[in-house]
Amino acid sequence: MISNTIQTVRHAFQALQQRICSHLEAEEKKKTFQQQKWSYPTGGGGDSRILSFGALIEKAGVNFSHIEGPSLPPAATLKRPGLTDQPFQALGVSVVVHPQNPYIPTSHLNIRLISVQRADQSIAWWFGGGYDLTPCYGFTEDCHDWHMTASQTCQPFGADVYQQYKKNCDQYFYLPHRQETRGIGGLFFDDVNQWEFERCLQFVTAIGNSYLSSYLQLIQRRKTHQYGPNEKQFQRYRRGRYVEFNLLYDRGTLFGLQSQGATESILMSLPPSVEWQYNWGLHPGSIEENFSKKYLKPTDWLNPKFASNTQRSTL
């Protein structure tokens, strides 16, 4: 892949990083992202930006990386054994936001490009990424709007794109040992190279922009919702599931650690406070039990019955 094409992706990803940081800082008002740049052992590096313990955001990471090396880590070549021991470049933006208010969902975005130079000097490349939403309290209209934005963003790229990537997300962000999804899903895609390169870049850029607009809408909708110690405890309990997924199953975490990237940046997705209690039972009939039973499974959130008012919904 020629260098100016890589630079086009780099500039697009860095612009997205800056845009997300600026909007989150505008919401937070009194806190700003702290920046740390790091170098990768075999070439390139990253720009990690972290905001901690604000009035609205308990922890947010918005990271950019562009690394290169002599061989992809095993997590990236499992499905591509023909690309082992070939030089690569990987560029990406990773975002995780853990809010203070339990009624504002945790959100995650990742977009990335990987290119590999084969032995015959040809280039293999593919984009990947997606976004998903992890609420602690269920509002069906929030789920509907989140997925409606995802569907509308995918529509120009094909009638079946949303349904396929939504299905991928439901399957990927699943904790088999808990028999539940991590949250209410969104989009997940890998091996995106079915269009021309420029079209693929347009797609992942559109995904990044739609994540920002959709999540800002939810922040505005839920940030004044009152909460107390019980809601914070349930938030920490649900964050435990988030940690379990990221440390046990997340391929991005595995890729980062195997590639010997910046460990603090790789693990920035973990929340600052979390709680496990042995065999913790939810109160029968409670809102928390209702959420755990009804929201943590694949659902057709585009069904018009979910596009209701902003009262707490129970399906």
CB contact at 8 A, 127 and 113 = yes
CB contact at 8 A, 20 and 62 = yes
DSSP state letter for 270? S
Which one of the listed residues 66, 98, 108, 147 is annotated catalytic?
108
Closest alpha carbon to 115 in 105, 127, 103, 104: 127
Label residue 311 exposed, middle or buried (CB < 10 Å: 0-12, 13-18, 19+).
Answer: exposed
CB contact at 8 A, 133 and 184 = yes
d(CA 145, CA 208) in angstroms, rounded, equals: 16
d(CA 180, CA 162) in angstroms, rounded, equals: 22
Is 108 a catalytic site residue?
A: yes
Closest alpha carbon to 94 in 113, 111, 73: 111
Instruction: Tell me the catalytic residues.
Output: 108
